[in-house]
């Protein structure tokens, strides 16, 4: 059943050598950077105590987890309290995609059937995948611990650093095992991904509810259990042992189901579709919408909820910022001399605009995904013009760019109970439309000209995100910030409106789109 396990594991390692390496360096790198920042956030012990007391408020418990170590506060404890949960969430996302990529996606695309035609065990693929996921999570946990030790901020201990790092890795392993189980239950890759994110959301809400009420829900959720290590204070490793046990149990159940189910199916069979597609689905636009609508709806809900969440704190903004020194410094840096409300709004929309760019970029890059999987050739074998098909995806992306900026503005107003004026929020949000169009044009260019290097657009996006989030906080040169499309946009209502950068970005977006569309029309597919 597990024949050629070592060879298969080596094969997965070769396939993942780039993506997983990027994840490892990103997780460890950001962990070290955030750790280095914390000593500068607190000038006195009184400031640290004040922040800890604010973190004890229900809304902050829901966002970051329970407060501990009030009698022995240190920058290391504050860092663990405020960062660990968010890094757990990021690692959970990584594991959902990682395991799904080597299980249900491979099975859906027919790769697994080719592997099983070779002298490979029936369960070799699943076991190799979960072993590789465990190794990646372990590396992230250990390297994060070593990075924290290397920075050595006040309150850091070797035991605490490894409690922090291993808790992070153990939570990631649990989500890898849950995704492996989901890959046996659902018969489509989209179903596995959707289930994984739904479980992540439910477990996050369970953890939030348990932390606020002090109930056992926090212990049921892997996210809550990971926080119970209380790194740099209690340094309890028992939650890590429990998490590892949970991951092993889920993995064993998944392997058992894999052994008894039919290849190409899941415990829950796929819903039977129509015998014939509707007229709308038979059109290029209908197909493009069908392929992208799930992502669009998920991001629309996310943007609305985020807007409402940030809007809910505007009524008591001073109290919210008093518990978030880093955010306060970012707010002050984004709008020196302006009111705290205006500065906060300007900072929020600068971040929300970048999040809004993600579904827009994913929509265009879906074309490259379809090409990579060999489905574009089948479409263009019919009388479907390339320009029309490509234009359908970009048209949907353009509509998404407007919707994804409209929803957080409405959410911010709704969350503030009308405290913030809708017209001003819409202006502050829609001013970022040219930046989203520039990123859209960049995606079109790479899909048309360099389809194998489309990962570069995410590098550009990551660069923009880091500069927008931390550029002014760290007093980076203005030119470095304005290299990003988002950095040249005036932050309303803090900064004075200028139409020049908007026009430049719009023209740039049109040129990038035209070049990408022209090249896509002429190059070979596949």
- What token pair was written down for 407? 């929803």
Could you give the dihedral angle defined by the CA atoms of residues 164, 168, 169 and 175, in that order, rounded to the nearest 10 degrees? 160
pLDDT tops 80 at residue 260: yes
Mean pLDDT of 386-402: 90
For 27-79, the pLDDT digits (tens) are 999 899 888 878 877 777 777 777 777 677 676 677 778 888 888 888 898 88
pLDDT tops 60 at residue 331: no
Position 526 scores a pLDDT of 64
CB atoms within 10 A of CB 192: 27
200, 92 in Cβ contact below 8 A? yes
pLDDT tops 60 at residue 332: no
CA gap 431, 196 in Å, rounded = 34
DSSP SS3 for 113:
helix
pTM, 2 dp: 0.78
Position 487 scores a pLDDT of 80
- What token pair was written down for 257? 């189901």
Closest alpha carbon to 350 in 410, 429, 443, 293: 429
268 strand-pairing partners:
186
167, 229 in Cβ contact below 8 A? yes
496, 421 in Cβ contact below 8 A? no
443, 460 in Cβ contact below 8 A? no
For 4-16, the pLDDT digits (tens) are 888 889 999 999 9
Position 263 scores a pLDDT of 76
DSSP SS3 for 322:
helix
Closest alpha carbon to 75 in 30, 42, 34, 31: 42
pLDDT more than 70, % of the chain: 91
For 196-238, the pLDDT digits (tens) are 888 888 888 888 888 877 878 888 999 999 999 999 998 999 9
Helical H segments across 109-188, by residue range: 111-116, 124-151, 158-185
Position 294 scores a pLDDT of 83
Residues in the chain: 526
Residue with tokens 């949000």: 429
Helical H segments across 261-385, by residue range: 284-311, 317-322, 325-334, 340-372, 375-380
Position 249 scores a pLDDT of 96
Mean pLDDT of 119-135: 90
What Rg, from alpha-carbon coordinates, does the chain have?
24
pLDDT-based confidence at residue 336 (cuts at 50, 70, 90): very low
pLDDT-based confidence at residue 266 (cuts at 50, 70, 90): confident
Position 337 scores a pLDDT of 44
CA gap 393, 266 in Å, rounded = 31
Mean pLDDT of 446-474: 77
pLDDT tops 60 at residue 325: no
453 Cβ contact list (under 8 Å, min separation 6): 446
CA gap 220, 213 in Å, rounded = 14
- Segment among 99-108, 195-204, 248-257, 334-343 with least mean pLDDT: 334-343
223, 204 in Cβ contact below 8 A? yes
For 130-188, the pLDDT digits (tens) are 999 999 999 999 999 999 999 988 889 999 999 999 999 999 999 999 999 999 998 88
pLDDT tops 50 at residue 362: yes
Closest alpha carbon to 506 in 402, 431, 434: 434
């Amino acid at each position: 059943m597990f024949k050629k396990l070592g060879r298969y594991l080596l094969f997965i390692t070769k396939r993942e050598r780039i993506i997983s390496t990027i994840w490892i360096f990103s997780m460890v790198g950001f962990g070290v950077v955030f750790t280095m920042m914390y000593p500068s956030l607190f000038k006195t012990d009184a400031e640290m105590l004040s922040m800890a007391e604010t973190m004890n408020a229900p809304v902050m418990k829901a966002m970051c987890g329970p407060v501990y170590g009030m009698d022995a506060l240190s920058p290391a404890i504050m860092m663990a309290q405020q960062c660990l949960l968010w890094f757990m969430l990021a690692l959970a996302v990584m594991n959902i995609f990682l395991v799904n990529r080597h299980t249900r996606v491979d099975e859906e695309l027919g790769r697994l059937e080719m592997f099983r035609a070779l002298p490979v065990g029936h369960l070799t693929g699943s076991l190799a995948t979960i072993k590789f996921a465990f190794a990646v999570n372990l590396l992230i946990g250990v390297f994060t611990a070593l990075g924290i030790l290397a920075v050595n901020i006040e309150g850091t201990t070797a035991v605490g650093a490894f409690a922090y790092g291993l808790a992070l890795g153990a939570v990631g392993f649990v989500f890898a095992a849950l995704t492996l189980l989901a890959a046996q239950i659902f018969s489509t890759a989209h179903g596995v991904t959707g289930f994984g994110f739904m479980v992540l959301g439910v477990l996050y809400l369970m953890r939030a509810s348990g932390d606020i009420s002090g109930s056992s829900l926090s212990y049921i959720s892997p996210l809550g259990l990971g926080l119970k290590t209380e790194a740099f204070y209690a340094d309890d490793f028992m939650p890590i042992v429990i998490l590892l046990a949970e991951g092993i149990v889920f993995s064993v159940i998944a392997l058992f189901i894999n052994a008894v189910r039919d290849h190409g199916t899941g415990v829950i069979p796929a819903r039977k579709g129509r015998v014939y597609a509707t007229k709308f689905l038979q059109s290029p636009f209908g197909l493009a919408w069908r392929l992208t609508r799930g992502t669009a709806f998920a991001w629309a809900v996310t943007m609305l909820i985020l807007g409402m969440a940030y809007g809910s704190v505007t009524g008591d903004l001073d109290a919210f910022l008093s518990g978030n020194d880093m955010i306060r410094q970012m707010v002050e840096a984004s709008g020196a001399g302006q009111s705290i409300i205006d500065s906060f709004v300007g900072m929020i929309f600068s971040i929300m605009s970048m999040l809004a760019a993600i579904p827009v970029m994913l929509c265009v890059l879906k074309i490259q995904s379809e090409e990579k999987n060999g489905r574009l050739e089948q479409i263009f074998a019919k009388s479907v013009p390339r320009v029309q098909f490509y234009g359908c995806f970009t048209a949907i992306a353009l509509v998404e760019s407007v919707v994804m900026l409209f929803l957080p503005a409405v959410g911010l107003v709704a969350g503030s109970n009308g405290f913030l004026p809708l017209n001003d929020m819409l202006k502050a949000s829609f001013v970022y439309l040219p930046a989203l169009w520039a990123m859209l044009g960049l995606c079109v260019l790479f899909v048309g000209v360099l389809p194998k290097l489309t990962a570069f657009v995410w590098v550009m996006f990551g660069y923009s995100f880091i500069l927008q989030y931390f550029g002014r906080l760290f007093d980076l040169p203005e030119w470095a910030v304005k290299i990003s499309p988002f950095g040249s946009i005036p932050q309303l209502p803090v900064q004075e409106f200028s139409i020049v950068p908007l026009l430049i970005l719009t023209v740039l977006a049109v040129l990038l789109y035209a070049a990408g569309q022209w090249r896509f029309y002429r190059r070979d597919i596949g």
